[in-house]
Chain A
């Protein structure tokens, strides 16, 4: 399924989650995103997977990209001063298709020393470290930094990236994926989706027109936006709103995909007051522009469209499985016999929640 000329289209996203916590290997998500090949142009593909490191589930798994080995050596010195490195190893890859000139890909399993946490909680410490590495350590980029999860991304078509990283050898209870068609920003390895911070990951189809406002807003809270892609703000906004401000998911979603003032005017008084407050307090977090996104985190998966639905999203369920993708066919490709299939309304979140224990 490949064509030689590039046809302008749009990005592709696909996600699947087993709400009971059962784990499946990466071949299904590759098959799903590959069906939407023509929505990408070979300048970015990637995956996020949850539940892949059960034996190191309590350590922070840092998936790293380095410009060269000199950058890695420099980083190795740096990381020793800030974390306990339990294990580090080269990311398993195989040469595949058009994947050329990858950076040095390495993963680190990290613990934080007790004495570093005297004045700061460990997740906050990790976020600060990710920001520091991305902005201050030359030639080093963190592609994911959560526990028992990881991002696998690069420049290429998503199915090539999936094979390159040998995703069929990993098992996860949530898989999200992205095929990129970059429009405003460069196609480079660190700029491929998903974007991750702690266990948050975002894949995104569209563009965040409010990037400038969101970036300035996030910078006030210490986030540093270094990856030259609009989607980065979405990952950090969820971290800010949910982890740091303790908003429930449904309120965070209302801050990002806020109802229009016209609609707020017609709401019941209590809801109206709440929505007005959300819009007033979180004006800087409002995402404008066309988007459909899939958010992954350790306890679930969430799909969301912009408020006037300028990008597509279809969802489906089969037993314990929740699927969401840019096209229904991408779901049918891996589960032809769905119990239900629907297109969520603009600005309305579709939420998958982990009910069981991860095997």
Chain B
């Protein structure tokens, strides 16, 4: 059964409470219409409902989320997938800043551009590996302080006036991996990262996620994969590993 909610003018607390209560009662699928600016949708939900959103959701979409699958047919705002643990968020548009802040698992698929500080403090542990794939370009501080996880940026729409990523790329990064479909200048890189070529395992990984991304947004996998990718990794891992070891 699908629960449809007309969220026009609804305050976020009422909306999120309604969703939470329905999940407790066994609801597994939601369609949210006329969403505009409601914050924290999906907040901390530990179940696997499918939530379809029409309209622009407010900040911190999917914060602390643990399981749901959210699909947004509009742009997103700031703080999407903040400290998200598992599940999936698909955005048919562009998104704002601080996306995937401290994200520790699950997947985030974005059709268009992403803002500043995407993937900041993302982390991983054993099989818990968060993934962010974005089709467009990114602002400054992409992968700032990144400690784990996978980020893929496809750079569709990049050109002379619009680089695939901004400055301070991977500043403070000490774990995880970034794949960029395009080139970056040396000065854009943070001091802690180096550009590398993809090995066979990398190509497999990128192809898998790009195929998934193309499936959501209707692009051709071969065409996307025909352009060269570069790989960014931290040159020293665990830089503070011995800080408290006496």
A136 within 8 A of B: no
Interface of chain A: mostly helix, strand, loop or mixed: loop
Task: Say whether A35 contacts B116, CB under 8 Å.
Answer: no
Task: Say whether A309 contacts B96, CB under 8 Å.
Answer: no
A3, A309, A314: the one contacting B139 at CB < 8 Å is A309
Task: Say whether A333 contacts B96, CB under 8 Å.
Answer: no
Interface of chain B: mostly helix, strand, loop or mixed: loop
Report B-chain residues with C-beta under 8 Å of the C-beta of A38: 12, 39
Task: Say whether A332 contacts B36, CB under 8 Å.
Answer: yes
A-B pairs with beta carbons under 8 Å apart, 22 shown:
A1-B9, A3-B13, A38-B39, A262-B187, A308-B140, A308-B141, A308-B168, A312-B96, A327-B37, A327-B77, A328-B56, A328-B96, A329-B57, A329-B77, A330-B37, A332-B55, A332-B56, A336-B36, A343-B94, A343-B97, A346-B116, A346-B139
Q: Give A contacts to B, CB under 8 Å.
A: 1-3, 35-36, 38, 262-263, 266, 308-309, 312, 314, 327-330, 332-333, 336, 341, 343, 345-346
B107-121 interface mask toward A, CB cutoff 8 Å, 1 = contact, 0 = none? 000000101100000
Bound CA–CA A345/B97 (angstroms) = 11
Bound CA–CA A35/B7 (angstroms) = 13
Q: Which of B13-67 contact A (CB under 8 A)?
A: 13, 36-37, 39, 55-59
With CB as the reference atom, state the residue of chain B lying closest to A9.
B59
B211 within 8 A of A: no
Report B-chain residues with C-beta under 8 Å of the C-beta of A328: 56, 75, 77, 96
Bound CA–CA A310/B134 (angstroms) = 21
- Min CB gap B200→A, angstroms: 36
Bound CA–CA A83/B188 (angstroms) = 56
B124 within 8 A of A: no
Bound CA–CA A262/B167 (angstroms) = 11
Task: Say whether A329 contacts B36, CB under 8 Å.
Answer: yes
Given contacts A3-B11, A312-B97, A329-B56, contact A345 B77 (CB under 8 A): no
B78 within 8 A of A: yes
The 7 lowest CB-CB distance pairs between A and B, nearest first, are A329-B37, A309-B116, A329-B56, A329-B36, A35-B37, A1-B11, A328-B56
B131-173 interface mask toward A, CB cutoff 8 Å, 1 = contact, 0 = none? 0000000011100000000000000000000000011100000
Given contacts A1-B11, A309-B140, contact A266 B36 (CB under 8 A): no
Report A-chain residues with C-beta under 8 Å of the C-beta of B115: 309, 343
Bound CA–CA A308/B141 (angstroms) = 9
Report A-chain residues with C-beta under 8 Å of the C-beta of B139: 309, 343, 345-346
Bound CA–CA A354/B97 (angstroms) = 30
Report B-chain residues with C-beta under 8 Å of the C-beta of A341: 75
Bound CA–CA A332/B54 (angstroms) = 13
- Min CB gap B30→A, angstroms: 19
- Min CB gap B33→A, angstroms: 13
Since A328-B96, A329-B57, A343-B113 are in contact, a sample of 5 more A-B pairs with Cβ atoms closer than 8 Å, ordered by chain A residue number, is A308-B116, A309-B97, A309-B116, A309-B140, A332-B36
The interface centre, meaning the residue of A2, A309, A330, A343 with most chain B CB atoms within 10 A of its CB, is A343
Report B-chain residues with C-beta under 8 Å of the C-beta of A2: 11
B36, B78, B141, B167: the one contacting A333 at CB < 8 Å is B36
- Min CB gap B142→A, angstroms: 12
Report A-chain residues with C-beta under 8 Å of the C-beta of B113: 343
- Min CB gap A234→B, angstroms: 22
B13, B58, B97, B140: the one contacting A329 at CB < 8 Å is B58
Task: Say whether A36 contacts B116, CB under 8 Å.
Answer: no
Report A-chain residues with C-beta under 8 Å of the C-beta of B94: 343
- Min CB gap B222→A, angstroms: 30
Report A-chain residues with C-beta under 8 Å of the C-beta of B57: 329
Bound CA–CA A333/B140 (angstroms) = 29
Report B-chain residues with C-beta under 8 Å of the C-beta of A266: 187
- Min CB gap A181→B, angstroms: 14
- Min CB gap B243→A, angstroms: 27
Bound CA–CA A35/B11 (angstroms) = 10
The interface centre, meaning the residue of A3, A332, A336 with most chain B CB atoms within 10 A of its CB, is A332
With CB as the reference atom, state the residue of chain B lying closest to A7.
B39
Bound CA–CA A327/B35 (angstroms) = 14
